[in-house]
Amino acid sequence: MFRFTPYVVKSLWGHRARTALTVSGTAVALLVFCVVAAVQEGLDRLARPSEADRTLVVFQENQFCPTNSRLPEDYARLIAEVPGVRSVVPVQVFTNNCRASLDMVVFHGVPPGQLLAARNLELLSGSFSAFEDRTDAALVGQAVARRRGLEVGESFTVGEVTVSVAGVFASPVAAEENFIYTHLDFLQRAPGRNAVGTVTQLEVELAEHADPDATAAAIDARLRHGPVATATRTKGVFQREAIGDLAELIGFAQWLGYACLGLVFSLVATTTVMAVQDRIKEHAVLQTLGLRPMRVFRLVLAESLVQSMAAGLLGIGLGMLVLGWWGFSIGTEGVAIALEPSLRLAVLGAVVSAAVGLLAGLAPAYQAARTEIVAALRQA
Amino acid sequence: MPLVEIRNLTKQFSKGGETITPLNEVDLTIEPRDFLSLMGPSGSGKSTLLNLLTGIDRPTSGQILVHGTDITRLSRARLADWRAANIGYIFQTHNLIPVLTAYENIELPLLLLPMTAAERRKRIAIALEAVDLTDRADHYPRQLSGGQEQRVGIARAIVANPTIVVADEPTGDLDARTAGHILQLVERLNAELGMTLFVVTHDPQAASVAARRLQLDEGRLVESEAAAPVAALDAGRRRA
Ligand SMILES: Nc1ncnc2c1ncn2[C@@H]1O[C@H](COP(=O)(O)OP(=O)(O)OP(=O)(O)O)[C@@H](O)[C@H]1O
Ligand SMILES: [Mg+2]
């Protein structure tokens, strides 16, 4: 079965310039495919039913950008009285950019005493007591920390807000790692914010058997006569609606991913066709020596597969590295889609490159196997 | 039982409405250890006969019985297996695989047979020794001279110890001196290793080396009595 492996490898190596060009071009295409798939995966993660569907977000009606939502802070007290509500966390959100952005910075101001209960954060450096002790302290998600090169003890300014980094955290929810947590009152008092007594949103944790939609409706009804009307949704729905147009854009970007696969196919197929046409006589000689047509077919297929798998290894590996290292995110309206490497992505990439490699090799392999031995040998 | 029995073998080609018949009801019997040469004008069908005998081409009609099996009835895959076990093919141009070393080229036919790696190494060593290229085993074809390449081609043809070794103008591309060496080598395959040989050639000198000399003309095969093979061997040496 594998006795002819050296022949396959040496055939590719024999044309290493051509092979290298094909592999590198294919690797780039697979890298792009990988990034596009990561964006899609990040979006799917937002939409996936999870604890995000056991949390409600109370926002000002008809608003999505955090800058435009202002709710009285004492709504928290009113909401806590609604049946089905376990706890309420007031959150002040400040972002440098409400539009779609690749380097969105989002501050979440939360009462320090409530932060640990509301969020599942794992401190990688710094300490939580340091965060509690200083009003301008911030816990920074590791994706932001990496992107901006932030370390504990440094201070960091966005717009008119300056915070001092008290810790860097990781979270099982990848999007969280793009956020920066501060004290609620600090963010309310921050220069130019003028938000004392108001919050951007209220996060409601549901009681065990409470129905999310019914509770949301009850909250909106309870606040109907307050100074500001609210719209309450599950966190999942809220994020999806906030992402809105961006999701459509991402759906479109998927076609870019498919186009990359088309590119991989044509690159590998072109090279394999060339390799076969170069060696019509060689394949005839092999058959004269006693290789079955099916064996020649498999050898050509193997060449095609080895190239696409090598490119896959390179492209996907590079993609994982890039995604893991830079902690990219795409964000809009204060909601972040985290791009992160995952086993699923790696496996998808490997399977896709193998499948495309095999597909690209089929026609040339068939051509090589069908070689008319005598006619091919008669060629000069 | 004869090794090969060719009966009523006919091969026709039609080119642009015109039919040519290079082989017209040809009969031939080959016994084990026979050494045959085949001569004839260009285009007379020598290569065609060789290709039919080795099963890389199919006749229009007739039978080719090898060890009693009619190879004209085998499928492509079965024919390939049959060739791997029974045929050694020496080409006019060596047709070595350029990306493989001499050693790896010679190894190719063995990879198709059930054989341990140790057995393969032993056989390749013997074949390299037979063509006197032991010290060139790791060279690539482009690093070898024409004569050396042809010797590698011969080693590849004999390494699996085939039933029949065929050669289609094995010296056609070589200068007289090198051709002489190759011819001596081919003779030794028959005289010393006892291989059954079928050699197509244009060179009367080369043909005279064979014990049985065949002539192909107008689709007919004629056999003439051979001169003593020993004398021919001497002739080959003198040329070299
Ligand atoms: N595939 C083919 N299609 C049509 N005609 C063919 C084909 N193969 C061979 N022929 C014809 O059959 C005849 C015999 O060809 P063949 O190659 O056997 O001759 P040959 O005796 O080996 O000649 P040479 O000494 O030049 O090698 C020639 O006339 C050739 O043109
Ligand atoms: Mg010929």
Among A366, A294, A288, A298, CA closest to B77: A294
Element (H, E) at A106: strand A106-110
Please name the residue that has the structure tokens 């294919």: A26
Q: What is the biggest distance separating any 2 CA atoms in chain B, rounded to whole angstroms?
A: 55
| Angle, CA of A214, A217 and A223, to the nearest 5° | 140
- Residue B38 to residue B214: CA distance in whole angstroms: 5
Same domain, residue pair A78 and A144: yes
Q: Is the pLDDT of residue B233 over 60?
A: no
- Identify all chain A residues contacting B97, using CB atoms and an 8 Å cutoff: 7, 282, 285-286
Same domain, residue pair A136 and A72: yes
Per-residue pLDDT of chain A (380 residues; tens, 9 = 90+): 678 999 999 999 988 999 999 999 999 999 999 989 988 888 887 766 666 678 888 888 888 778 788 888 888 888 888 888 888 999 988 887 767 777 778 889 999 888 888 888 888 998 888 888 888 999 999 888 888 888 898 888 887 888 999 999 998 887 788 889 999 888 888 776 677 788 888 888 888 888 888 888 888 888 888 888 888 888 888 888 877 778 888 888 889 999 999 999 999 999 999 999 989 999 999 999 999 999 999 999 999 999 999 999 999 999 999 887 776 777 777 777 878 888 988 999 999 999 999 999 999 999 999 989 999 998 86
Provide the token pair at B224.
């003439």
- Residue A118 to residue A120: CA distance in whole angstroms: 7
- Residue A170 to residue B202: CA distance in whole angstroms: 82
3-state secondary structure of A124: strand
| Number of structural domains found in chain A | 2
Q: List residues of B whose CB lies inside 8 A of any A CB.
A: 51, 54, 56-57, 76-77, 80-85, 87, 89, 91, 95, 97-100, 104, 108-109, 111-112, 156
Cβ atoms of A151 and A126 closer than 8 Å? no
- Check the CA dihedral B100-B104-B108-B113 and report its sign: negative
Selecting from A4, A373, A377 the residue whose C-beta is nearest the C-beta of B111 gives A4
pLDDT of residue A52: 64
Measured N-to-C along each axis, helices B76-86 and A293-326 cross at an angle, to the nearest 10 degrees, of: 100
User: CA of A24, closest CA in chain B: separation in Å?
Assistant: 22
Same domain, residue pair A31 and A83: no
* HSE-CB of A291 using CA atoms within 13 angstroms: 25
**Which ligand has an atom closest to residue B56 CA?**
1
What superfamily in CATH does domain B31-58+86-239 come from? P-loop containing nucleotide triphosphate hydrolases (3.40.50.300)
Ligand 1 neighbours (beta carbon < 6 A): A 375; B 13, 15, 20, 22, 40, 42-48
Same domain, residue pair A279 and A208: no
Give the rounded percent of residues in chain B with a pLDDT score beyond 70: 93
Same domain, residue pair A25 and A103: no
Please name the residue that has the structure tokens 């798939």: A37
The domain boundary, picked from A228, A260, A287, lies at A228
Tell me the residue length of chain B.
Answer: 240
A20 CB neighbour count, 10 Å cutoff: 12
Q: Quick one: how far is CA A15 from the chain centroid?
A: 37
Task: Work out the pLDDT band at B159, boundaries 50, 70, 90.
Answer: very high
Pinpoint the alpha helices (H) of A65-202: 75-80, 112-118, 128-133, 142-148, 184-189
Provide the token pair at A18.
């051509």
- In one-letter notation, the amino acid at residue A375 is A
Selecting from B57, B81, B99 the residue whose C-beta is nearest the C-beta of A10 gives B99
Q: For residue A349, what are the contacts with CB-CB under 8 A and spacing of at least 6?
A: A30, A33, A34, A37, A312, A315, A316, A319
Contact B99 A286 (CB under 8 A): no
Same domain, residue pair A73 and A208: yes
**Which ligand has an atom closest to residue B219 CA?**
1
Same domain, residue pair A253 and A315: yes
pLDDT in tens, A216-258: 888 888 888 888 888 888 888 888 887 777 888 888 888 999 9
First to last CA, chain A: 32
Q: Determine the residue of chain A that is closest to B140 in CA distance.
A: A14
Ligand 1 atom nearest to CA at B15: 4
Q: For residue A328, what are the contacts with CB-CB under 8 A and spacing of at least 6?
A: A102, A143, A147, A322, A338, A339
Cβ atoms of A19 and B105 closer than 8 Å? no
- Identify all chain B residues contacting A14, using CB atoms and an 8 Å cutoff: 98-99
In a domain, A233, yes or no: no
Same domain, residue pair A88 and A161: yes
Rg, Å, chain A Cα set = 28
pLDDT of residue A1: 61
Size of interface A-B (CB pairs under 8 A): 67
Same domain, residue pair A197 and A254: no
- Residue B51 to residue A178: CA distance in whole angstroms: 72
- Residue A49 to residue A61: CA distance in whole angstroms: 23
In a domain, A57, yes or no: no
Contact B98 A289 (CB under 8 A): no
pLDDT in tens, B67-95: 888 999 999 999 999 999 999 999 988 89
Contact A374 B56 (CB under 8 A): yes
Same domain, residue pair A289 and A206: no
Q: Determine the residue of chain B that is closest to A5 in CA distance.
A: B111
Same domain, residue pair A223 and A275: no
Contact B81 A290 (CB under 8 A): yes
- Residue B94 to residue B146: CA distance in whole angstroms: 8
- Identify all chain B residues contacting A294, using CB atoms and an 8 Å cutoff: 77
A151 CB neighbour count, 10 Å cutoff: 12
Strand partners, B28: B6
- Identify all chain A residues contacting B77, using CB atoms and an 8 Å cutoff: 292-294
pLDDT in tens, B24-60: 999 999 999 999 999 999 999 999 999 999 999 999 9
Task: Work out the pLDDT band at B235, boundaries 50, 70, 90.
Answer: very low
Question: Strand B87-90's sheet: what is its strand order?
Answer: B87-90, B164-168, B196-200, B35-39, B212-217, B220-224
Q: List residues of A whose CB lies inside 8 A of any B CB.
A: 3-4, 6-7, 10-11, 13-14, 281-282, 285-295, 373-374, 377
- In one-letter notation, the amino acid at residue B104 is E
| Angle, CA of B72, B195 and B63, to the nearest 5° | 15
In a domain, A55, yes or no: no
User: CA of B178, closest CA in chain A: separation in Å?
Assistant: 22
Cβ atoms of B39 and B216 closer than 8 Å? yes
Q: How far is the CA of B174 from the centre of ligand 1 (A)?
A: 22
Cβ atoms of A358 and A301 closer than 8 Å? yes
Residue A280's Cβ-count burial label (10 Å; 0-12, 13-18, 19+) is: middle
Same domain, residue pair A122 and A40: no
pLDDT of residue B239: 44
Cβ atoms of B167 and B132 closer than 8 Å? no
**Which ligand has an atom closest to residue B45 CA?**
1
- Identify all chain A residues contacting B81, using CB atoms and an 8 Å cutoff: 290, 292
- Residue A52 to residue A43: CA distance in whole angstroms: 14
DSSP letters, B7-43, are EEEEEEEEETTEEEEEEEEEEEEE-TT-EEEEE--TT
Domain that holds residue A19: 2-46+245-378
Ligand 1 atom nearest to CA at B45: 18
- Identify all chain A residues contacting B108, using CB atoms and an 8 Å cutoff: 7, 286, 289
Q: How far is the CA of A280 from the centre of ligand 1 (A)?
A: 19
Task: Work out the pLDDT band at B5, boundaries 50, 70, 90.
Answer: very high
The domain boundary, picked from A178, A198, A228, lies at A228
